[in-house]
Structure 1
């Protein structure tokens, strides 16, 4: 099934998102402005885009692996969620985990957007949850070595 993502370019420097390769999950998002992000600081970066998501979906804003590896730049609230009913400008919160300032250029690919289905679930309060092998083990419990 094919869905339509409606996109409104609200700034003269805005660029349509696109997939770098046909099978890619993420659509690259571009900055419409230049700015500096100092080490340890974050910035809100504008894309100049508004979108209308298909019914029953969300947009997830994720880091670009190249920026993370080469410059320690990532999406601060990764993944950022854009709800189906949001119609404002898409903005990306980037953080500089590196040791040097990072310059965002106009039209730079700053993040990727993945469109994903949202499950509608019925909430049922209970005190009787099923047991599993993992049960209440968390924070590193799946990395145990040896036998039980």
Structure 2
């Protein structure tokens, strides 16, 4: 990680926190981004995700059951194998309007350099119009641990063992 930054939650700086800051390259592919359409940013000091916006040529109506790939007008190059990005849904769009990610979660590998596209699926009952520049998903940078596997004939016993779906109770 590059360093730590001080983030203050209030204007009078009463609540400041140290957070890790990582510089990630961002390439603007749509000239409206940063001009008419805001660049990704954290909404609050406690926000984990950056809002991704729809860089559409005009509003797009997504009919119930339809899925569309929505351009974000940008590409990122994380360039650190210890990091990746997740594209996650915005809770309000899913709960209020039935707009969720068609792939449920998007994974952006550290060496990917193409445009970020968001798969928007209308699982609701009514059409939903995505406006130009509307916040449609969020991008969260996460640490990655690469596994090395050791083949074993048996596992060391644990309290859970092989108990799976619903093993610990009714739900």
Q: Normalized against structure 2, the TM-score is what?
A: 0.79
Structure 1 segment 28-67 matched on structure 2, within 5 A: 28-33=51-56, 34-55=59-80, 56-67=82-93
Q: Normalized against structure 1, the TM-score is what?
A: 0.91
Q: Would the alpha carbon gap of residues 54 and 45 (structure 1) be closer, same or farther in structure 2, given more than 3 Å must change?
A: same
State the match for 1:112 in structure 2. 138
CA deviation digits over 1:77-119, x for unaligned, max 9?
2221000000000001111110011111100000000000110
Is 1:9–1:16's contact at 8 Å kept on the other side of the alignment? no
The list of structure 1 runs, each at least 4 consecutive aligned residues, that deviate by more than 4 angstroms after superposition, is: none
In structure 1, the gaps of 5 or more residues are: none
Q: How many residues align?
A: 145
Larger relative contact order (Cα-Cα within 8 Å, sequence gap ≥ 6): 1
Q: Would the alpha carbon gap of residues 98 and 35 (structure 1) be closer, same or farther in structure 2, given more than 3 Å must change?
A: same
Is 1:4–1:54's contact at 8 Å kept on the other side of the alignment? no
In structure 2, the gaps of 5 or more residues are: 4-20
Q: CA RMSD in A?
A: 1.5
Is 1:30–1:108's contact at 8 Å kept on the other side of the alignment? yes
